[in-house]
Structure 1
Amino acid sequence: MAMKYHKILVAVDGSKTSELAFKKAVEIAKRNDAKLFITHVIDTRAYSSIEAYDQGISQRIQNDGLQLVNNYKERAEKADCQHVETILESGSPKVKIPKEIAPKNNVDLIICGATGLNTVERFFIGSVSEHITRFATMDVLVVRSSVDNEE
């Protein structure tokens, strides 16, 4: 039995492994003629205390997130990925991706990098990818940074 994915979600944060995850997601989406959702979740815990001192930080982070997903969308379309949509949310990526974004969009595969930008948090309470694999009800592909994954 051949497995075909119809809706693929890739989580991006600008890290090296999310870049590798994005590249794999584009190839898998093209091979399956699947819809590709490119998502970035702005972790509001990361800047909530700073926002008390700088009211504009929230808008700048939102703009950066929008620019990030739009850049990835443009790259996916240039790579001949036919069906691409972006999703920008705020909250906890650990919760939003597997419990809200993926189910809401009927995703059948989530692709994410093994490690992201927040290495301190990963050390203390676990990585986003660990939480995604634990709580997702669909297939999850965790992309590792290694020589084999490099171009």
Structure 2
Amino acid sequence: MTKTYQYKHIQIAVDGSKEADLAFKRAIAVAKHMNADLEILHVIDTRSFQNVSSFDSAMVEQVSNDAKKKMEKYSQAAKEAGVKEVHFSIEFGSPKTIISRDFPKKHDIDLIVVGATGLNAVERLLIGSVTEYVTRTADCDVLVVRHSRLPEAD
């Protein structure tokens, strides 16, 4: 008889895109099925602040507050859907590194769920896809959710 693997700590990276929202729904389904913890992660790319000439702490605080409100909504939705243990984190830095390596190591993640694409098409062309990087470098399993493979959104 074949044993099935039980994921215990699932990470979902969200960026507000439609693809990330669909991946979030899939992460909820997997977490419920596996009775796993769900770690919802949003990474604020600090490179986006480097080109702003009037960079100040008020802008960083506003971005952080907006992200926190969104993350609280994601967390509440996961709990209402039946995930027992839900946490969210907002990190600053390189999304590729944080999603694929730093956060999973810090939180003992055994499955990363990501959308097939994210918000920024220009960045994908210039420096490569975050999803592609995560699938290539993560030490744990990665589930890439493609919207064309999902049933119609509720």
TM-score by length of 2: 0.93
Residue 92 of structure 1: aligned partner:
94
Is the contact between residue 20 and residue 149 of structure 1 (CA under 8 Å) also seen in structure 2? no
Counterpart for residue 54 of structure 2: 53
Query: What secondary structure sits across from 1:86 in the alignment?
Result: strand
The match for 1:63 among 62, 65, 76 is 65
Q: Shift of the alpha carbon at 1:117?
A: 0.8
In the alignment, what sits opposite 1:40? 42
Counterpart Cα distance in 1 of 2:119 and 2:151: 18
Aligned-residue Cα RMSD (Å) equals 1.2
| Cα 1:63–1:138 shift into 2, 3 Å | same
Read off the aligned partner of 1:86 and give its amino acid letter. Answer: F
| Aligned counterpart for 1:116 among listed residues 100, 111, 118 | 118
Distance 2:101 2:150 in 1: 31
How many Å separate the matches in 2 of 1:45 and 1:121? 11
**Could you report, residue by residue, the CA deviation over 1:55-96 in whole angstroms, capped at 9, with x for unpaired residues?**
222111111111121110010011111000011100011011
Q: What is the aligned-residue identity percentage?
A: 43
- For normalisation by structure 1, the TM-score amounts to 0.94
Partner residue, 1:132: 134
The Cα shift of 1:149 comes to 4.1
Aligned length: 150
Deviations 1:83-127 (A, max 9, x none): 000111000110111110011111000001111111100011111
2:111, 2:93 → 1: CA distance? 21
**Aligned mates of 1:37, 1:147 — CA distance in 2:** 23
**For 2:103, which of 101, 104, 118 is the aligned residue?**
101
Unaligned 5+ runs, structure 2: none
Q: Secondary structure at the match of 1:107?
A: coil
TM-aligned CA deviation for residue 54 of structure 1: 4.6
Gapped regions of structure 1 (runs ≥ 5): none
CA contact (8 A) 2:111 2:142 kept: yes
